[in-house]
Structure formats: structure tokens, C-alpha cells
Amino acid sequence: MTEFRLLATDGLARRGILTTAHGPIQTPAFMPVGTQATVKGMLPEQVAATGAEIILGNTYHLMLRPGPDIVAGLGGLHHFMNWPGPILTDSGGFQVMSLAGLRKLEESGVTFRSHLDGSSHHLTPERSIAIQHQLDADITMCFDECTPWPATETQAALSMRLSMRWARRCREAFINRPGYGLFGIVQGSIYPMLREESADSLLREGFDGYAVGGLAVGEGQELMLKTLDATVPMLPTNKPRYLMGVGRPSDIVRAVARGIDMFDCVMPTRSGRTGQGFTRRGTINLRNARHAADPRPLAQDCHCPACRSHSRAYLHHLFKAQEMLGPILLTWHNLTHFQDLMAGLRAAITEGQLATFIANFERDEGEGDIETAPNLAPDIAINLDASHV
RNA sequence: GCGACGGUAGCUCAGCGGUAGAGCCCUCGGUUGUGGUCCGAGUGGUCGUGGGUUCGAGACCCAUCCGUCGCC
């Protein structure tokens, strides 16, 4: 059992605390993705310094390498990777979709052909839960099928009902311990009737939290938000709600306004590795030639090391030269940016100012990046140059 | 000096009689429970130079320049 306490609400948005065996999580929360027992390019203490309180691991990837026995033998995922805080593990359900070409789906479970060595691995609801126990996940996710997009209503219903049968098996296989929770996952694609049926089905079993899965898979933000509008009200108010795999800052802000408490997404980390930086005014591609001589920091008001100590020109150079410090610095910045956004959302909900916060957020994003250094006085420009030589 | 091989996009090269191509680079776009990926679009060439043969030459012939290697 994990414990969830609501501290404040503002409209449908909620401010809460989720307490786990390895510590509390302030919600709404963004969880950086650390698939292979690492948030790529970041030391655990650096991840924590960005404000993250919980990270993700992945059952499928850790099952293949290094294997659950090795992780368990080294004291679980927390000890293995030296992340003392809470960890949520994805069950492998996303890989049922993303690795569709490498697996066979049956009622009992899914047989994967390893992308590493071609070996065969049968993942069932029971085995996924057992592995997540071995990993010592604070939050275990039900093994499901992330329904691909697009899906007809018939396909979505078959997929969702399979996930619901699996959810029951996960519930039975999960060993209840204080501070450890099991989350169910609502499926049903974009069809409100199926989402309702799925939520009902999960509520009968009873979970420590409820995830909304199968979104942000190509349907677009408008359909995703419509689906949330139809789904979130069917979930209990006294348990956390987790929108899986989402998203961009604007997705997160709008989902928080609809009552979502938890998010995870590869966006800040993957984008950080490929040169896309997030700012209040939208994204900036640091590989673009226009940054080659720009002395300004990526974001003027950001407190991360990339913005405090380095110019856009330097970050641009690192990416063009394929130096590893580029992805490290930009991942650091992006994670900081996402965590700052979450802190802002939490404060706004507490103060009952979410509408104002969102209005400001959308105004800033609408302005876009400023193309050239804005009317710097010569002496200020020189100072900026000097600080980056 | 002689001989062989080579000179086609910024780079590495394919094309050897019929509308000049690929990969990389470069300029951009995409990436939503992560295979450090991957996908997509675009810029870019008087085919070393000068003649010739041919309806048509990057390709065949002659000359010439440059490069690499080998031999005197």
C-alpha cells in the first residue's frame, strides 16, 4: 500500500503527496525515465538536484540486461543504481506495442524475441509482477497492452479487455507491503464507453493508483484531452492518477488542469540528447546554425549548469562536434525545466491560481524564441562575451 | 624520363553510349510508459582541361594538366 493525501484542489487540478517506502512524492509530479537503471547522462544526485523525487525503470529492458536476479542480488534497483528515492517500474506493456515486430501476443502473456541476442522471453502478468518485486519497485505497474493507434472500437475493446484480465492477474500476483503500491492502467483508446468499462473493471479490483494508458501514441493533443475529459472523472479522488508517457509541457499543463497527478516522458531526456532544448518560449534546436555565435544562455532565467555557465554557442558546438557533454548539459537543463514547471503548477494549485498560471504559460509559449540577442547595450554584450570565452 | 592506375557533389565513391547518382557532411523538420536511436525534407556537380567520333559522350579516341604507385 502507498498512501495518497490531497493537500489542495483548484478546479479539477489537485495538489497532493504520495508516500512510498523510499520517500514522499509531491504531486503533480514529473518522473524522469531511467529505462536501463540510469537516467541517461545524469548522476542520480544530479537528477535529484533538478527536483525529481521519483524516476522510472523498465521491467522488459532490465529483465534482458542485466537480469532481475542480478539486480535483486545487489540489493534492488535503488542500491544497484544508487538512487535512494522512490522508483516506479513500467511493466513492459509499452514494449508490447513499441516492439510489436519482435513479439507474439497471447492470452497467457507475450513472448518477446530479445533485440539484444534474439533469445526468447515469455512475459506474463505474473512474471512481470515478480520481476518488479525483484527490482524492488515502490510503484509496480500492471502488465498491459498499450493499444496502438489507430485502433477501431472493436480492436480497442479486445485489447482493453485483455489488459483488464491481465490486471486481475497482476492484482493477485502482487504482494502487498507497506509503502509499495500497484497501479492499474485504464485502456480503451479514444472511446469513452471503453474507458468507462476499463475504469469500472479496475475499480472492482482496487489499486493504489490509476494510470491512463494508450494515449500520446499518435492521436494528437485534442483527442488525448477529450479522452482525459471522459476518463478522469471516473477515477477515485483519493488515489493518484498517472498519465503514462506524457508529455510536452503543454500536454502536462492541460492534463494537470484535468486532474492528472503524475507524468513520465522521455521528452526532456531524449530531446536533451538530440539537441532540442525546452524553454518557457517553446523549444530551441541547438544544432541550428543560428546559434553558432550566440553568447546568450539557453534560458536567461534558468538555474541549471548549462544556463548558468555556458552560452548557446558552446552548446551548439558540443552538439555539432558530437561531444558527450552536449547531451549531458541539455538533459540537465531539460529536466530542470520540467521540474520547475511542475513546481510552478503545484504552487499555483495551492494558491488557487492555476488559471492565471496557465494563461501566463500559454502566453510565453506563444511568443516563441527570440531570434537575435535583444538590444543589448555594448558593455553588457561585452560582459556576456567575456564570461563565455 | 618510362609505365600502370586514378581525377564525377565539401568528403569517400558508384555510374563506362541514352534525363548525373549513393552514403557521409551541410541546412531544416519530426521524435510522448527510451533500441544514445531512427525517420523525413532540402541545398549542393560547366563529370580535371582542350579537341575529335556519334543523332546523342561522364563513358569511346587523341592531346594535355594534376595525383598516387612502380621502374630507370
Tell me the ipTM for this assembly.
0.84
Judging by DSSP bridges, how do beta strands A13-20 and A3-10 pair with one another? antiparallel
Specify the pLDDT at position A156.
97
Specify the pLDDT at position A379.
33
Task: State which nucleotides on strand B lie below 7 Å from a protein beta carbon.
Answer: 26-38
Give the CA A289 to C1' B43 distance in Å. Answer: 14
Distance CA A219, CA A33 (A): 22
CB of A263 closer than 8 Å to CB of A25: no
Specify the pLDDT at position A33.
97
Sheet holding A3-10: strands in order across?
Answer: A3-10, A13-20, A23-27
Give the CA A320 to C1' B8 distance in Å. Answer: 29
Specify the pLDDT at position A370.
62
pTM above 0.90, yes or no: yes
Specify the pLDDT at position A72.
97
Distance CA A253, CA A13 (A): 10
- How far apart, in Å, are the Cα atoms of A76 and each of A21, A86, A235? 13, 12, 32
Specify the pLDDT at position A268.
97
* Catalytic residue of the set A90, A136, A144, A294: A90
Q: Which residues of chain A have pLDDT under 70?
A: 370-389
